[in-house]
Amino acid sequence: MSFSRRNFLIATGVAAASTTVLSACSSDDKGATDKNVPSVGKAKTMNIPVGTKADSTGPAPEVAGAVKGGTLYSLDQFDMDHMDPAQIYVATEGAITRPILRGLTGYKVDDKGGCTLVGDVATDAGTMKNGGKTWSFTIKDGIKWEDGSDLSMDDVRHTFERLFASFVTEGPRYVQQWLVGGDKYKGPYDGKHIDSLEVSGNTITFNLTEPRADFNYTLAMPGYGLVNKKQDTKEKYDKRPFALGPYRIGSRDIGKSLTYVRNDHWDPKTDPIRNAYPDKYVFQFGFELVASTDRYIADKGNDQYAMSIFNEVAPERVAQVMTNATLKKRVLTQVDTVCYYWPINTTRIKDVKIRQAINYAWPHQQIQTINGGPATNEIATTLLSPVTPGYEKFDLYGVDKKPGGDPVKAKALLKEANAIGHKLVIAYQQSDTQVKVAVAIKNALEAAGFQVVNKQVDKSTFYSQIGKLDNGFDLMAAGWSPDWPNGYSVFYPCWDGKNIGDGRSNYAQLNDPSINKAIEAASKIADVEQANKAWGAVDRQIMELAPVVPDYNKIRNWMYGSKVGNVVYDPGNTCVALCKMYAKK
């Protein structure tokens, strides 16, 4: 999932009270905290293979000990910005809508923490032809909307055609870019269809402009959830999407609460992904991190049946929770797929030695501390997170040995480049944490012989400003998380020369022919294992050119009430697996 404003808010919010955390961690609990904090080093790469046709058949595997009935609650800070699948991009919104929305493919979480790509409403995870330029999906029988009407092929076609409508501005844009004729198509509302989507019987075929061996993974994004054509109210659909999953919206009070009740027309035999144990979900919004954590700690009344999608353990409470064995039992800890990093503008800093000097001088440890310490983030040396398939551990700039930076080595490189006193303009988003981070960076880089100018940029215009080609910045705070579990959706949007341009995500403006070639070659590899190896190599190849400083990988800690059963992580949707939980009796 690409890095969004909300991800940033969550990340900076989590880190906002870092000083408190630090003082807590550095007190007499230090030893215990260090022993108990999760570690990126221990995180397992989340390989998600493609399942068979049998895997795509419902019902979802039973969760041992799970019981049906009851109500699950949530204590969360934010309501969703969007519920129209076409507008959904962030993982948390995808997670909340999983119980009501379904797509052609989806991720099936098993009881051992594994995950498989399966057909959701499709009979399997799709059939590829022409080396990945043509993909077909056949729809299962008996799939019904919340009003009892059948899911039709018209609905399926309409779902993908409406992605081209002008009101769709926030969801993923892969399908729009790859469908043949997508550059000219304006959406279905004037009665026209796009020719590259072919419907025959119960099968829909996508004709793409380029080979996409992982297209079935792309379609598992929540942004490609299916939409009922007859109920499509365009912009207004965002407020009240029509359900195809085991639940439907019972009530919604935007910004305050959202209730899901059972969709009586859902047939578990058609659904390999969702268990649907509770009778009802009540999402409650407006809880700051401290408030929700305190309520989980107190564990009273309905809060015993509560969990969070957005809210993690508040930084102020991390030490208290993670060092208390009883409380820690009620925390789901997971290394995230997002990598926070600082792209270096390669059009302004062309000498690789200067870029490498920045990497050597970087104050990783100080930044880790400012961002909440090792319980909430761990130093990164690669662009792929340790949990993303393709991850290969390497450390080209000696971060493991000198996490506080190596100003001597950096200065020596600067001297070689004849660039002592080189001026760097650093852009970062307005926030208390980022101000502290920027000061730490300035101090470290100046100790290595750079001259640093820090520029604080308003958060609402930050990405438009760093996304401009002529932005005047040398270093910029950014981050990225893969949209599906492989390296393509990390490296192509952010490091391929084709993605240099105003509003694009290649902030470093890296246009290296060997990198572009390597990305193209890796994206054509159909064999998952081989492709992952290739993505790992791309990561190293990019880091050798040092167009970026990888900063940290996020560690997420979700707390929940004592009567919520089977709180597990959904590696495909990179969030809590809502459809696997149950309310204990």
Question: Would you list the DSSP string of 80-126?
Answer: -S--SGGG--SHHHHHHHTTT---SEEEEE-TTS-EEEEESSBSSS-
Residue 252 or 524 having the CB closest to other proteins: 252
Residues 6+ apart with CB under 8 A from 513: 497
Distance, in Å, from the CA atom of 95 to the CA atom of 307, rounded to the nearest integer, reads 13
Question: What does the angle CA 553 – CA 555 – CA 556 come to, to the nearest 5 degrees?
Answer: 140
CB of 288 to other proteins, least distance (A): 6
Residue 30 or 498 having the CB closest to other proteins: 498
Residues 6+ apart with CB under 8 A from 300: none
Residue 7 or 356 having the CB closest to other proteins: 7
Residue 32 or 165 having the CB closest to other proteins: 165
Closest of 157, 144, 153 to residue 192, by C-alpha: 157
Residue 295 or 554 having the CB closest to other proteins: 295
- Which residues here bind other proteins, judged by CB under 8 A? 2-5, 75, 81, 89, 166-167, 169-173, 234-236, 238-239, 253-256, 285-288, 290-292, 294-295, 297-298, 300-301, 303, 458, 460-461, 463-464, 467, 502-503, 505
Residue 277 or 305 having the CB closest to other proteins: 305
Q: Give how far Cα 18 sits from Cα of 93, 199, 457, 510, Å.
A: 26, 54, 21, 33
* Three state DSSP letters for 517-574: HHHHHHHCCCCHHHHHHHHHHHHHHHHHHCCEEEEEEEEEEEECCCCEECCCEECCCC
Residue 89 or 428 having the CB closest to other proteins: 89
CB of 363 to other proteins, least distance (A): 28
Report, in this order, helix, strand and coil percent for the chain, each rounded to 5: 35, 20, 45
CB of 3 to other proteins, least distance (A): 7
Q: Is 304 strand, coil or helix?
A: helix
**CA torsion angle for 74, 80, 82, 83 (degrees, to 10)?**
10
CB of 75 to other proteins, least distance (A): 8
Write out the E strands in 156-215: 197-200, 203-207
CB of 171 to other proteins, least distance (A): 8
Taking a C-beta distance cutoff of 8 angstroms, is the pair 533, 390 a contact?
A: yes
CB of 404 to other proteins, least distance (A): 32
Residue 111 or 458 having the CB closest to other proteins: 458
CB of 436 to other proteins, least distance (A): 21
Residue 169 or 585 having the CB closest to other proteins: 169
Write out the E strands in 304-457: 306-307, 331-343, 377-379, 423-429, 451-457
User: Which token pair is 529?
Assistant: 């294992």
CB of 127 to other proteins, least distance (A): 28
Q: How many residues in the chain?
A: 585
Residue 77 or 116 having the CB closest to other proteins: 77
Residue 291 or 439 having the CB closest to other proteins: 291
Q: Give how far Cα 441 sits from Cα of 85, 401, 476, 480, Å.
A: 39, 18, 12, 20
Residue 37 or 163 having the CB closest to other proteins: 163
CB of 494 to other proteins, least distance (A): 11
Residue 183 or 416 having the CB closest to other proteins: 183
CB of 434 to other proteins, least distance (A): 16
Distance, in Å, from the CA atom of 505 to the CA atom of 566, rounded to the nearest integer, reads 37
Taking a C-beta distance cutoff of 8 angstroms, is the pair 356, 397 a contact?
A: yes
CB of 114 to other proteins, least distance (A): 29
Residue 35: count other Cβ atoms within 10 Å of its Cβ: 9
CA torsion through residues 13, 18, 24, 25, sign: positive
User: Which token pair is 110?
Assistant: 């098993």
User: Which token pair is 417?
Assistant: 């480049």
CB of 224 to other proteins, least distance (A): 15
CB of 523 to other proteins, least distance (A): 18
Residue 40 or 319 having the CB closest to other proteins: 319
CB of 268 to other proteins, least distance (A): 32
Taking a C-beta distance cutoff of 8 angstroms, is the pair 378, 364 a contact?
A: no
User: Cα–chain-centroid distance for residue 68?
Assistant: 30
